[in-house]
Amino acid sequence: MSFQPNNPDLKSFIDVSKDSDFPIQNLPYGIFSTPNQDARVGVRIGDFVLDLAGLSDAELLKDLDFDHSVFYESVLNPFIELGQQNWRATREKTSQLLQKGSPLEDKKDEFLFPVADVTMHLPVRVGDYTDFYSSIEHATNLGKLFRPNGEPLMPNWKHIPVGYHGRASSIVVSGTEIHRPKGQILPKDADKPIFSPCKTLDFELEMAFIVGKSTNLGESVSIKEAENHIFGMVVFNDWSARDIQKWEYVPLGPFLGKSFASSISPWVVTLDALEPFRVESPKQEPEVLDYLKYEGKHNFDINLEVDFIPQNGEATTISRSSFKYLYWNMAQQLTHHTVNGCNINVGDMCASGTISGKDENSYGSLIEITQGGQKNINLKGGEIRKFIQDNDTIVMRGFCQNENVRIGFGEVSGKVLPAK
């Protein structure tokens, strides 16, 4: 599908550098506040945030035929609930207003705030969070580490987009500091667990989609309809306490090793903005069941990077991966999620699972990069790590790039503080 705001020839009166994630063709949504204004809906362009509530006050959004109170909310949920048609109308309107020669150009200082002057907030109220496990490379790597004597992939893996229900309450916005979790750990060669701060704290490089259209209990979403239930995407760091996870995960899966925190990037990039970056998915063999069969391109070519920053140190990029490697796409994930009649709600978040590529430079977690802590990571400035130490910071970025345009997500950053 082609959308007018995606036109690569559009130019804004705001100067946007070529390597910015936020040209006029992107226009992601977020929640921001300023020292003088409560949290409200904004759209990112270059190094500025466009204030939609302010535009509405000034009657510059009169063409948008819905109740503008949604722009004064401290979460995007009420806006998202207005439906795809209205998100599209809003993106089109903001695109027009940001173009050269628009009525906004002369009054831009009233409605555009430098990003450095605003505080970003969690963009949605997350009702439920589901974490998938959709990278075949990651599932294989982890299978080898957790079950060295068995088949790395479980027999169900190529038939089901495997996932589990995560914890929504601990999803935080980029910049939020994370305390090292504590829990039960089984020391090597011991037969009893100890209670301790996590010793093998890890990140997981993921992306998440935000549900844009609710369903009723008992309903299923068909694969054809699935993407119409998705509002947009963010970069997602699913922090993981490997030692806690290893002891607790049998037989019911991840629990406290995961639920202490997940961090997201603050700007929600719409699927419409990602449209030029659709790509084929990896071939699925064996053939999947009919309800999971799809036509067309449902993966997106999103470059992903992870930086490791020790305290007072410089950043070392330790992984470069891509969303396009995922074996199971978002449409399949959402279809599978609802096939049993489970209802979904606007604002729900579904993460992809760690996104690893084939070679070591593209692994999406430390447990893979260090082979379970056997290998060192050499950081710039001489520091060495196997896992995350106190006061280390992890930064993840995502962006799409073609010859015409770059559509990015910005970053999700999180610093690890000592256990409380």
Known catalytic residues are: 138
Identify which of residues 120 and 162 has a Cβ nearer to Ca ion in the complex. Answer: 162
Residue whose CB is nearest to Ca ion in the complex, by number: 238
Inter-residue contact 202 to 394 (CB < 8 Å): no
String marking each residue 193-212 x if it binds Ca ion according to CB under 5 A: -----------x--------
Minimum separation from the CB atom of position 382 to Ca ion (A): 31
Minimum separation from the CB atom of position 167 to Ca ion (A): 12
Inter-residue contact 41 to 29 (CB < 8 Å): yes
Tokens 């006061």 belong to which residue? 391
Q: How many CB atoms lie within 10 A of CB 109?
A: 7
3-state secondary structure of 277: helix
Distance of CA 165 to the CA centre of its chain: 16
Number of residues that bind Ca ion (CB under 5 A): 3
Minimum separation from the CB atom of position 353 to Ca ion (A): 5
Q: Are strands 262-264 and 171-173 parallel, antiparallel or unpaired?
A: parallel
Q: How many CB atoms lie within 10 A of CB 406?
A: 19
Distances from the Cα of 347 to the Cα of 88, 125, 318, angstroms: 17, 6, 31
Q: Residues 299 to 338: which contact Ca ion by CB under 5 A? A: none
Q: Residues 3 to 62: which contact Ca ion by CB under 5 A? A: none
Minimum separation from the CB atom of position 206 to Ca ion (A): 6
Identify which of residues 204 and 305 has a Cβ nearer to Ca ion in the complex. Answer: 204
- Please give the angle made by the CA atoms of 185, 255 and 321, to the nearest 5 degrees: 95
Minimum separation from the CB atom of position 250 to Ca ion (A): 17
Identify which of residues 68 and 144 has a Cβ nearer to Ca ion in the complex. Answer: 144
3-state secondary structure of 408: strand
Q: Which tokens go with 6?
A: 């995606």
Minimum separation from the CB atom of position 261 to Ca ion (A): 12
Minimum separation from the CB atom of position 356 to Ca ion (A): 12
Identify which of residues 23 and 257 has a Cβ nearer to Ca ion in the complex. Answer: 257
Inter-residue contact 69 to 82 (CB < 8 Å): no
Q: Residues 224 to 283: which contact Ca ion by CB under 5 A? A: 238
Inter-residue contact 349 to 237 (CB < 8 Å): no
Q: Which stretch binds Ca ion (CB under 5 A): 6-14, 128-136, 370-378, 394-402?
A: 128-136
Q: Which stretch binds Ca ion (CB under 5 A): 93-101, 126-134, 376-384, 404-412?
A: 126-134
State the Cα–Cα distance between residues 301 and 303, nearest whole angstrom.
Answer: 7
Identify which of residues 49 and 178 has a Cβ nearer to Ca ion in the complex. Answer: 178
Sole binder of Ca ion in the list 21, 51, 128, 131 (CB under 5 A): 131
Distances from the Cα of 53 to the Cα of 42, 60, 81, 307, angstroms: 8, 10, 17, 35
Identify which of residues 129 and 294 has a Cβ nearer to Ca ion in the complex. Answer: 129
Q: Which stretch binds Ca ion (CB under 5 A): 58-66, 69-77, 100-108, 125-133?
A: 125-133
Q: Which tokens go with 288?
A: 């999947």
Distances from the Cα of 382 to the Cα of 307, 314, 315, 377, 420, angstroms: 15, 10, 12, 10, 29
The separation between the first and the last C-alpha atoms of the chain, rounded to the nearest angstrom, is 50
Identify which of residues 91 and 167 has a Cβ nearer to Ca ion in the complex. Answer: 167
State the Cα–Cα distance between residues 166 and 152, nearest whole angstrom.
Answer: 23
Widest pairwise Cα distance in the chain: 72
Return residues touching Ca ion (CB under 5 A): 131, 204, 238
